[in-house]
Chains A and B, each alone.
Chain A
């Protein structure tokens, strides 16, 4: 019998494992994925957002708790548990030092992400490097880790965890523990579950992380009476390159060029304002917009003048010397695309193009409008990227209190079950997203959950 059973293998799970072990508990980590794919979405992350009162070696300036709270309140539109969120923000300050003590190394913000240089701490080598450091530390402390170990069931009575059923190889094992830390993420890779809310269009979704984020543990907890939190129908969806693999394409399939061109659907019609706001504030809107289009496909079209204004990505743009040639290559109706581009070009008002501000390049008399950075598509060659919704994570989770303890439907805290990371992110992140906040939720609540589980186990 273990003191703490940690289910999951990402940032939240490993922070919980380390903190529980440091608190004196015997710890077993169950990771459903094979070793290479360990860590869920953490594999693909690159930074975390922590409050700090002054600049550091890798952060360019202070980011106070108050400012963090303002940002969180804004991105969630107020859909956040204020007490829990403020607690997390306060704890995030210590996180910067704590995570370094666990072997994780930081570096200044990456090229192309200068806007985050003050607020976000970047992991040297990215999320997998961070995971490697956490696993190395955990194992050196005596944490046991089992890979290819999916929890398929749990013995939970009146909110009290007794044992988990674990599929490992061809066998199902029963593992008992005094406490449970659920840190197994959301259900974004579970297409059938997504279909409950999205219907058949979910078949056309691409999943940005591994196929192992199936939400099995979340389902088990909710079925056992855990209080749900977060909109079950919602997910973080980005428009990514349609040629990306079904799973685990990660960051390199993202496209940052929407604001520099127009976006059309399979009928070669525009359907939203490409220049409504700065891209970091809009990229997570486009996944949902594309999901609402026929066959969940769209095309970002731009010309030579925009071709080097954005971060490069994995697949080359499709190229045509004329709009007609491009339409043919994309399989779009030539006349329709020509007409859409002509109508857009005619609506563009003269202005001074500046990608760093909300400039005055806009359309007039066009529906939908393009409010900023609108320039005629006139310089060949013309380019296009096909895009589909890329699902990053889901919002549904279990309700927790400040000690990361799972709250049951009757409002009472579970006797010995804790949750950390994406599986409870909905408590503080009801909707929207701010770069690096998923890792903050994971680290802060992971550390708390591990510490509290160790305390509970020793009582």
Chain B
């Protein structure tokens, strides 16, 4: 790194490791990090952040490395890259002041969620009669007896728009460190991201403690990601139903929004639990310290969103519906607000890193 660059202990260590790895190169077949490194002889802070976001944390290079601890060269790429990656989220965050949210991410997300739920419960109570909150409502428009549809749209539209803006600005900050890319690179990266190509330890699955390997993290990540996308598709369909067809929620169980939401919701129940279990099984040596909050908060939020959504589906014709709706809306609201400042951003930065990598493969760094 240049002496003039803003730096951190993690960046300095990543720089040292990349010098070691670039002199060895035994791991170049494992993932994209090492070929990207080989295109350079020295590394800027931006290069290191780019490598860190290319790294999927599979851990294979740690098991394979002849210089990992206790060797005096102390090479631990997965751990250091996880630290640099977490710092990079804060580095690229918009607005700059929000970078601090990443430092105590778990706490921040939990507080937002709690406040969100409390606000919806209080709001329902304040704007309607408590008997409405604990009443039984059925048929089209049942939800909107607790909160008018337009109010819901306004509130969630605003939260979602803010999240989109903040995410877009963060991506712009990340992208400015590179040189741009052609359409083919976006497509190639899309394929690599959609299949989690580099979460496979070079072909045999992620490192899974004591040198054994398994592919479960990829499976659970697929369940989580595609579950999330199905839920998004469910919401989008419901919006079209409402505005284009004039049909109001709740919809019958066999209708498209409910089917998509249920399938996605199941993915978001099983996926997050699996990911947390796999994380617990991993070699502690390869995990960065101080990131538990951030890594847990986002998956926990996805899990709660799904759990409350499915509970709402099952219990929507009972007096529990009012509180469940408040809980669900509160969690979803907090999820939206914290999207740009939590683990969610990993997918976006990693995708752009893959785009940059695909382009560099073609035209160099």
Contacts and interface: CB of A to CB of B under 8 A. Distances in A.
Interface stretch (B22-30, B234-242, B247-255): B22-30
B61 A252 contact: no
Interface in B42-73: 60-61, 63-67, 70-73
Interface of A: 36, 43-44, 46, 105, 107-108, 110-112, 122-129, 132, 135-136, 245, 248, 250-253, 308, 311-314
Given A36-B70, A44-B66, A314-B19, A110 B26 contact: yes
B20 A252 contact: yes
Contacts of A124: 29-30, 202-203
A135 B326 CA distance: 55
B86 to A, nearest CB: 26
B180 interface: no
Given A312-B22, A314-B23, 6 more contacts: A36-B70, A36-B71, A122-B29, A136-B211, A252-B73, A311-B23
B66 A127 contact: yes
Nearest to A129: B64
A111 B28 contact: yes
Given A111-B38, A248-B71, A125 B23 contact: no
18 contacts: A105-B203, A107-B202, A108-B29, A111-B25, A111-B38, A123-B26, A125-B29, A125-B63, A127-B66, A128-B63, A128-B64, A250-B66, A251-B26, A252-B67, A308-B41, A312-B22, A312-B23, A314-B20
B155 interface: no
A250 B27 contact: no
Nearest to B202: A124
B114 interface: no
A251 B29 contact: no
Interface of B is mostly: loop
Contacts of A135: 211
Nearest to A250: B66
B215 to A, nearest CB: 14
Given A111-B28, A126-B26, A136 B212 contact: yes
Nearest to A43: B66
Nearest to A241: B23
Given A136-B211, A250-B66, A312-B41, A125 B25 contact: no
A260 to B, nearest CB: 15
Contacts of A313: 23
A248 B67 CA distance: 9
Interface in B137-180: none
B204 interface: yes
B202 A128 contact: no
B340 to A, nearest CB: 36
Contacts of B73: 252
Nearest to A252: B23
B202 A105 contact: yes
Q: Which has the most chain B C-beta neighbours within 10 Å: A36, A125, A250?
A: A125
A312 B43 CA distance: 13
Q: What 8 A-B pairs have minimum CB-CB distances, sorted nearest first?
A: A126-B26, A125-B64, A107-B29, A252-B23, A129-B64, A43-B66, A128-B66, A124-B29
A112 B23 contact: no
Contact of B25 (A43, A108, A112, A123): A112
Contacts of B20: 252, 314
A126 B202 contact: no
A251 B28 CA distance: 15
A252 B24 contact: yes
A126 B27 CA distance: 7
Nearest to B67: A250
Contact of A125 (B27, B41, B70): B27
A251 B61 CA distance: 16
Nearest to B23: A252
Nearest to B40: A312
Nearest to B22: A312
B202 A125 contact: yes
A110 B28 contact: yes
Contact of B26 (A125, A132, A311): A125
Nearest to B212: A136
B71 A125 contact: no
A345 B156 CA distance: 75
Contacts of B29: 107-108, 110, 122, 124-125
Contact of A46 (B26, B203, B211): B26
A314 B23 CA distance: 6
B276 to A, nearest CB: 26
A110 B64 contact: no
A112 B24 CA distance: 10
